[in-house]
Amino acid sequence: MKIYKVEHIYDKSLYINVEGHLLGYFSSKTGAEKTVEFFKPIKGFCDYPDGFIITELPLNCTRKPIYLYQIWYYIHDKNYDYEYGKYLDLNLYTNKKEAVKVKSRFERLNKEEIKKCPLEIESGINRWKLDEKTKEWHDGFEVYVGG
């Protein structure tokens, strides 16, 4: 099965400070395109109309799931001068139990590296309802150039 990820990315200052918003996962390209049209006129998104990206992703299942589970990591220094967030959507899971198992295994195998890391590492598992756009960005966002 194929699914479609919709996100919006914009550059705040000459490729130094890129921001992104994950807007949802969809079972059809049409659903993904409708989501782009929904967000285009909203504050922040309208300032960067070319920032929408639709990515086709494989999903290892035979039936259309209701929810997708996504492992994420957020790495930062104590003052948040350095921040890096990563959604691991190359391996989306159709049940939370499997996502928890994979996340636990990754952290167990990398325990020493994680312990030695001078940065703060936060992680979790997001649940996304397939074919539902996020409600988080319906009011848009403020654009602060350069910071």
Give me the pLDDT at residue 17, please: 61
Where residue 54 falls among pLDDT bands split at 50, 70, 90?
very high
pLDDT of 81 higher than 90: no
* Residue-range definition of the domain harbouring residue 140: 1-65+130-147
Give me the pLDDT at residue 104, please: 94
Q: Is residue 82 located within the same domain as residue 106?
A: yes
- How do residues 2-34 score in pLDDT, each as one tens digit? 999 999 988 766 555 667 899 999 999 999 999
- What average pLDDT does the chain have? 88
Where residue 55 falls among pLDDT bands split at 50, 70, 90?
very high
Q: Is residue 61 located within the same domain as residue 6?
A: yes
Q: Is residue 2 located within the same domain as residue 25?
A: yes
Q: Is residue 73 located within the same domain as residue 123?
A: yes
Q: Give the range among 102-106, 123-127, 140-144 with minimum mean pLDDT.
A: 140-144
How many angstroms separate the CA atoms of 71 and 106, rounded?
A: 11
Query: Taking CA 31 as the corner, what is the angle to CA 92 and CA 96, rounded to the nearest 5 degrees?
Result: 25
Q: Is residue 30 located within the same domain as residue 73?
A: no
Q: Is residue 92 located within the same domain as residue 110?
A: yes
Where residue 126 falls among pLDDT bands split at 50, 70, 90?
very high
Could you tell me which of 87, 20, 91, 99 has the C-alpha nearest to residue 60? 91
Give me the pLDDT at residue 14, please: 57
Q: Is residue 118 located within the same domain as residue 80?
A: yes
Mean pLDDT value of segment 107-131: 93
How many angstroms separate the CA atoms of 82 and 68, rounded?
A: 29
Mean pLDDT value of segment 45-53: 93
Q: Is residue 97 located within the same domain as residue 134?
A: no
Looking at 5-144, list the stretches that DSSP marks H as alpha helix, in order from N- to C-terminal side.
Answer: 29-39, 96-109, 111-116
Give me the pLDDT at residue 141, please: 83
Query: Rg of the Cα trace of the chain?
Result: 17
